[in-house]
Chains A and B, each alone.
Chain A
């Protein structure tokens, strides 16, 4: 990505810090989950709903993660959960970041009345409890994965909007933009050529944050019973396990309850790591601040 500073001058590149190791760990985790999601139909040994074993079988070669109370293979269900989580991370995450990002960029650029109205709306959304709101909307709109992703994107855009609006407002009156306007650049040219490239990294970091939130919400909604009944999600596995009355009187919690939670935690850790690395990249000053290097 080039940072264009002024017409004719050599692009001035700030020295980029290298991607910290934590970023590579995060990328590896996320890449692993993406590969699992793509390969899930090939890897899944059974159909997700098939009664392929005896109830509550412990892990074995036939059932890598054991079976649940009705004898369904939990490994197959976990794979289905990978797909659900990755789908929501990509669709709802990019939906929320792009929607919020465009709103933020336009509000920051235009200012005035548009800015006021849009940011008031964002404030309202930020201050009301959004998980209960999400529950009510999903209860009406239906629990399909696509519907849930859309609703998540529509409720969780303000975070990205706030960040990008602030970024654009700080760019708005920089000299090179005034120069561009002086040379006759219209708003669409300035936005496309000067603003969007410079907020790209901030948008990427907002995207990572939104993806993490989306996964947390997808699993949470499925856990509350607002998941797609036809596709197992990590949340719905946890819900089934906790609804099973005798869970803690057997050892079944070890292979029924824990794996989906560990998977969720691992994926979210991967996304958080990438987010930390991105934050450091976007704002090295802040990163020095946070990571604790002596001034």
Chain B
């Protein structure tokens, strides 16, 4: 049932929003205490403090604060950046597309690669190809995303300057044609997307390989072989197709990790996505931006998760029946 997927996502989203609301309020102390302190250089007057208190609704009961917070979020109002003096929504809108581009590219590449590699490894189980892939993936699993990113940066942008060092576009570039712009963005995308894709590869690969190994042992594979089906059909249509289900189911969780990894990878390449936004917000302790960025990312991941769930139900009606 489709509404059930939507309901679960909505409840999860409410939980996330509630945590973001509760977190600053659970911290000890009064947010205005430091501003009022007479011993500091610039204490604010009691009137100004009272104004701030009513502006931030800190004089209201918690329930009313929560209701106000929810209604603001529902209108898409994420608050106001302390350090940059612009609405948080504007900042998120400027940075989120870059992260989506990076995440989408690397998730698509990683999904295709890990599926094909997993099927191939299971098909040649125990042979050199399988062992080599397993060893590579184990090594990749041990390397954190920022390390992968930095190694790629050193090798392919410093030692062999094939790709640009940082950013998402050449600054002040005048493109002759739209094609030039696409090419430039693409060239800047290669290294971050490769780093992110490589760090997303290993878990998915192991999953596909293991489900594929167990589906190769099933009776229908023996039957297929007995019928004399060509290996390619056996491999992809009979084996691979059945290994697809857990793979699709895990895409939502992968998006969660991918978002986290992309923050780290972006910081290495100074890629102008959410990672860079979060990094600057951390430096200036710009809490509204941090919270807004987290909410936007959570919403992204929850949407991917819900979409994966719906695709799963389409692929396997047994899931919907449960």
Contact = CB atoms under 8 A, between A and B. Distances in A.
Interface in B234-261: 252-253, 255-257, 259-261
Interface stretch (B20-28, B82-90, B179-187): B20-28
A253 interface: yes
B283 interface: yes
A290 B206 contact: yes
B278 interface: yes
Contacts of A219: 144, 146
Interface in B204-224: 206, 209-210, 213-214, 217
A129 B150 contact: no
A14 to B, nearest CB: 22
A137 interface: yes
A289 B130 CA distance: 12
Interface in A216-249: 216, 219-220, 223-226, 235, 238, 242, 248
B256 A140 contact: no
A241 to B, nearest CB: 9
B305 A127 contact: yes
Contacts of B15: 124
Interface stretch (B34-42, B57-65, B112-120, B133-141): B133-141
Contact of A132 (B214, B255, B297): B297
Contacts of B253: 126-127
Given A127-B253, A136-B290, A290 B142 contact: no
A292 interface: yes
A223 B264 contact: yes
Interface residues of A, number: 46
Contacts of B305: 127
A290 B210 contact: yes
Interface in A166-224: 212, 216, 219-220, 223-224
A222 to B, nearest CB: 10
Contact of B263 (A131, A212, A293): A131
B175 interface: no
B-side interface size class: 35 or more
Contacts, number: 140
B158 A253 contact: yes
B144 A137 contact: no
Interface stretch (A30-38, A65-73, A263-271): A263-271
B156 interface: no
Contacts of A291: 134
A128 B8 CA distance: 12
A225 B294 contact: no
Given A132-B260, A223-B264, A276 B138 contact: yes
A139 B285 contact: yes
A130 interface: yes
A27 interface: no
A47 to B, nearest CB: 26
A223 B146 contact: yes
Interface string A244-284: 00001000010001100100110011011000100000000
A126 B252 CA distance: 10
A242 B165 CA distance: 11
Contact of B23 (A136, A225, A258): A136
Nearest to B306: A127
A224 B263 contact: yes
Contacts of B141: 272
Nearest to B130: A292
A295 B213 CA distance: 11
| 3 closest cross-chain pairs (CB), A and B | A131-B260, A292-B126, A129-B259
10 contacts: A127-B301, A128-B301, A135-B278, A220-B146, A225-B279, A248-B157, A264-B144, A269-B139, A271-B142, A292-B130
